[in-house]
Chain A
Amino acid sequence: MSDTRPGDPELTTYRDVQLSPDFSELRRRFRRFVFPMTGLFLVWYFVYVLLADYAPKFMAHKVAGNITVGLLFGLGQFVSTFAITLLYVRWADKKFDPDAKHLRDQIEGETK
């Protein structure tokens, strides 16, 4: 690594953070939650478009009155966007922030 000049206390902190298993674990956990979630919700939007193209009969199926499956799914896009956001915020508040705080306490404890 290039930023490991000896005798620079600030850079040593960086290195410690970078190398600490807790930090990698934190990043890994973030990626493990966020990347698949992003993938999933993108797939859901794109599948909707595909359904509209290849299964118009299914989308035009009337559930009640003039309300079709397509219309319900369409409104569902908004609802699901909101649901995903709430899910992410809950996860970040409950899981990610406490872990991050733990890491912080550890680092600050060590450097003080």
Chain B
Amino acid sequence: MSSAMSLTGIGLVIVATIGIGLFGLRISRTTSDFYVASRAVTPRWNASAISGEYLSAASFLGVAGLVLVNGADMLWFSVGYTVGYLMLLVLVAAPLRRSGAYTLPDFAETRFQSAMVRRICSGLVVGIGTLYLLPQLRGAGLTFQTVTGAPPDVGAAVVAVIVVINVAAGGMRSITFVQAFQYWLKLTALATPIFVILIAWRSGDHQIGVLHSLQGAAAEWAEPLSTAGGRDHPLYSTYSLLLALCFGTMGLPHVLVRFYTNPDGRAARRTTVVVLALLGMFYLFPPVYAILGRSFAPDLVTGAADTVVLELPSRIFPGTTGDLLGALVAAGAFAAFLSTSSGLTVAIAGVIDQDLLRTRLTRLTGGDYLAVNSFRIAALLAMTVPYVAFRLTGALSLADTVGLAFAVAASTFCPMLVLGIWWRRMSTTGAAAGLIVGGVAASAAALINVIGAPTAGWPRALVVQPAAWTMPLAFLTVIVVSKLTPQSIPAGAARSLVRLHTPEAVNVDRNPTPLP
């Protein structure tokens, strides 16, 4: 792989990202611009932006890596990522828009009228965001290492710095344009090598023995629910993964805020249809890399599997063609890290800004500061935590780490949102208990994974894919505790529900929670 060419590709992506970011700066002026782009982005732009933001290192590199090692079961990652959007759309998107809240903690506060529940949610947003940012930084480190041989810290630092600059400069409005651009870049980068390979194969000047690789010893790999790659209890693991992805998406901080950037509910639905088409199109490609990887890069199965997408072009076409395609893929990978990290950083920074920073800044400066500056400091903090975590933790599969973030979200925000929107008798104590029980259980599993998971059998399966037990546990806790504490059903519960379920244009005092 030619590092000069790849570095040029990565450099161009960075320049374009900052350039579009600066262009956005000129049109983002108010707080509403910063957070939700003033709710004025058209469905098509917004759908590209959502997809651009959603397709992270885990999708671009991780899915192919997991399929390469573990076989067909891992295709559920791509199905699950897509279905999660559908769940979000039909169950929570519309009521949440109507709540007028900008963020998950805002929603928690209006629904449960409790500063404590709000604080728990803020903590969870930062936690889930950090868990999700970690693999983005790792992916960046890995890509830089594959391209140049530099230590992983370098790539991670590059992404961290650029994201902070971009977010601090332009907020959501500029991010929307950056994300939209990056979706199309990612799709092009991933699809082009596959088409070039297909052309070479059809014209017969290249031996591509895809089908041979699926014979013999590899047959087990192609079979669903096999234990290829050393994963025990495949049925449990697959179910657990599916649950996490289906129900976790609605609780991801950077995903939810995107639905506010639509001007109305109808546009939000249009957006989702386009998003699903765009995601489906993208996810056709990673499995192809994995299947080709089985024949052309078998050494990666036991090595750096997450680099298969980066390595494959130069393995198939030694020489300039391979170098060019390799550079394109590396650039696409960087677009993936940058876009997801930017979206997450905006979401986390929003929460840090509102819940931790403002009151302290006001006390320190006597109110003499710009609200936008507080957001900028928050953006810096939002990236510092995962960067430190990245330096402290060891190598984990990219898609697996992201899967854990989904599991935590499915075990905390999913019960809070679904029950909070549909069940009037959910009490504040119940909400807090559910968030704490689900959060502690799922985070404990995530932490064990980061430190070092058990090597085999049920303990490993339960810790690697915790959602199947932590999510029901959280739902049960909310229901039981709410039944036991009817006195802590918030006084305005009926009122909140009317607001959540009345069509948007009806004027029932829906002003967003005023920013302090």
Say yes or no: A49 contacts B238, CB within 8 Å.
Answer: yes
Say yes or no: A3 contacts B492, CB within 8 Å.
Answer: yes
| Closest Cβ–Cβ distance, residue A38 to chain B (whole Å) | 6
Say yes or no: B87 contacts A38, CB within 8 Å.
Answer: yes
Q: SS class of chain A's interface: helix, strand, loop or mixed?
A: helix
- The residue of chain A having its C-beta at the shortest distance from the C-beta of B277 within the complex is A82
Say yes or no: A3 contacts B494, CB within 8 Å.
Answer: yes
Given A81-B280, A89-B269, are A38 and B501 also a contact pair (CB < 8 Å)? no
Selected from A31, A41, A93, A103, the residue in CB contact (under 8 A) with B506 is A103
Please report the C-alpha to C-alpha distance between residue A93 and residue B273 in the assembled complex, in whole angstroms: 13
Judge whether B143 is part of the interface by a CB distance below 8 angstroms: no
Q: Which residues of A contact B22 (CB under 8 A)?
A: none
Binds A, one of B75-83, B387-395, B399-407: B75-83
Say yes or no: A104 contacts B273, CB within 8 Å.
Answer: no
Selected from A82, A88, A104, the residue in CB contact (under 8 A) with B89 is A88
Q: Which residues of A contact B225 (CB under 8 A)?
A: 49, 52-53
A 74-112 contacts with B by CB, 8 A: 74, 77-78, 81-82, 84-86, 88-89, 92-93, 97, 100-101, 103-104, 107-108
Please report the C-alpha to C-alpha distance between residue A53 and residue B237 in the assembled complex, in whole angstroms: 12
Please report the C-alpha to C-alpha distance between residue A69 and residue B76 in the assembled complex, in whole angstroms: 17
Selected from A10, A49, A82, the residue in CB contact (under 8 A) with B509 is A10
- The residue of chain B having its C-beta at the shortest distance from the C-beta of A27 within the complex is B501
Selected from A17, A46, A82, the residue in CB contact (under 8 A) with B239 is A46
Given A17-B498, A18-B498, A107-B506, are A74 and B270 also a contact pair (CB < 8 Å)? no
Interface string of B87-111 (1 = CB under 8 A from A): 1011100000000000000000000
Judge whether B507 is part of the interface by a CB distance below 8 angstroms: yes
- The residue of chain A having its C-beta at the shortest distance from the C-beta of B274 within the complex is A85
Say yes or no: A66 contacts B224, CB within 8 Å.
Answer: no
Say yes or no: A3 contacts B495, CB within 8 Å.
Answer: yes
Q: Which residues of B contact A88 (CB under 8 A)?
A: 86, 89-90, 269
Selected from B89, B211, B242, B509, the residue in CB contact (under 8 A) with A45 is B242
Selected from B224, B494, B507, the residue in CB contact (under 8 A) with A18 is B494
Say yes or no: A89 contacts B270, CB within 8 Å.
Answer: yes
B 253-282 contacts with A by CB, 8 A: 265-266, 269-270, 272-273, 276-277, 280
Please report the C-alpha to C-alpha distance between residue A8 and residue B491 in the assembled complex, in whole angstroms: 16
| Closest Cβ–Cβ distance, residue B509 to chain A (whole Å) | 6
Q: In the complex, which of the residues B83, B91, B508 has the most CB atoms of chain A within 10 Å of its own CB atom? A: B83
Say yes or no: B273 contacts A108, CB within 8 Å.
Answer: no
Please report the C-alpha to C-alpha distance between residue A49 and residue B468 in the assembled complex, in whole angstroms: 15
Selected from B283, B495, B505, the residue in CB contact (under 8 A) with A104 is B505
Q: SS class of chain B's interface: helix, strand, loop or mixed?
A: helix
Q: What is the interface residue range for chain B against chain A?
A: 35 or more
Q: Which residues of A contact B509 (CB under 8 A)?
A: 10
Q: Which residues of B contact A56 (CB under 8 A)?
A: 223-224
| Closest Cβ–Cβ distance, residue B497 to chain A (whole Å) | 8
Judge whether B175 is part of the interface by a CB distance below 8 angstroms: no
- The residue of chain B having its C-beta at the shortest distance from the C-beta of A101 within the complex is B503
Judge whether B321 is part of the interface by a CB distance below 8 angstroms: no
Please report the C-alpha to C-alpha distance between residue A108 and residue B506 in the assembled complex, in whole angstroms: 7
Judge whether A67 is part of the interface by a CB distance below 8 angstroms: no
Say yes or no: B266 contacts A97, CB within 8 Å.
Answer: yes
| Closest Cβ–Cβ distance, residue A109 to chain B (whole Å) | 11
Please report the C-alpha to C-alpha distance between residue A53 and residue B235 in the assembled complex, in whole angstroms: 7
Judge whether A63 is part of the interface by a CB distance below 8 angstroms: no
Q: Which residues of B contact A42 (CB under 8 A)?
A: 246
Please report the C-alpha to C-alpha distance between residue A93 and residue B265 in the assembled complex, in whole angstroms: 10
Judge whether B502 is part of the interface by a CB distance below 8 angstroms: yes
Selected from B90, B422, B501, the residue in CB contact (under 8 A) with A37 is B90
Say yes or no: B495 contacts A14, CB within 8 Å.
Answer: yes
| Closest Cβ–Cβ distance, residue A107 to chain B (whole Å) | 6
| Closest Cβ–Cβ distance, residue A76 to chain B (whole Å) | 10
Q: Which residues of A contact B242 (CB under 8 A)?
A: 45-46, 49
Interface string of B487-516 (1 = CB under 8 A from A): 000011011011101110111110000000
Say yes or no: B224 contacts A78, CB within 8 Å.
Answer: no
Selected from A23, A37, A66, A81, the residue in CB contact (under 8 A) with B502 is A23
Say yes or no: A13 contacts B508, CB within 8 Å.
Answer: yes
Selected from B79, B89, B422, B494, the residue in CB contact (under 8 A) with A78 is B79
Say yes or no: B82 contacts A78, CB within 8 Å.
Answer: yes
Closest A-B pairs by Cβ, 6 of them: A100-B503, A52-B224, A2-B491, A104-B506, A78-B280, A89-B269
Q: A92-B265, A97-B503 are in contact. List 18 more A-B contacts (CB 8 A).
A: A11-B495, A14-B494, A17-B502, A17-B506, A23-B502, A26-B501, A45-B79, A49-B235, A49-B238, A49-B239, A50-B235, A59-B224, A60-B223, A77-B79, A85-B89, A85-B273, A101-B505, A104-B503
Q: List 28 A-B contacts (CB under 8 A).
A: A3-B495, A11-B495, A13-B508, A14-B499, A17-B508, A18-B497, A18-B498, A26-B501, A27-B501, A31-B422, A38-B91, A42-B246, A49-B76, A50-B235, A53-B224, A53-B234, A56-B224, A59-B224, A74-B75, A81-B280, A82-B280, A85-B89, A88-B269, A89-B272, A92-B266, A101-B505, A103-B502, A104-B502
- A residues with CB within 8 A of B: 1-3, 10-11, 13-14, 17-18, 23, 26-27, 30-31, 34, 37-38, 41-42, 45-46, 49-50, 52-53, 56, 59-60, 66, 70, 74, 77-78, 81-82, 84-86, 88-89, 92-93, 97, 100-101, 103-104, 107-108
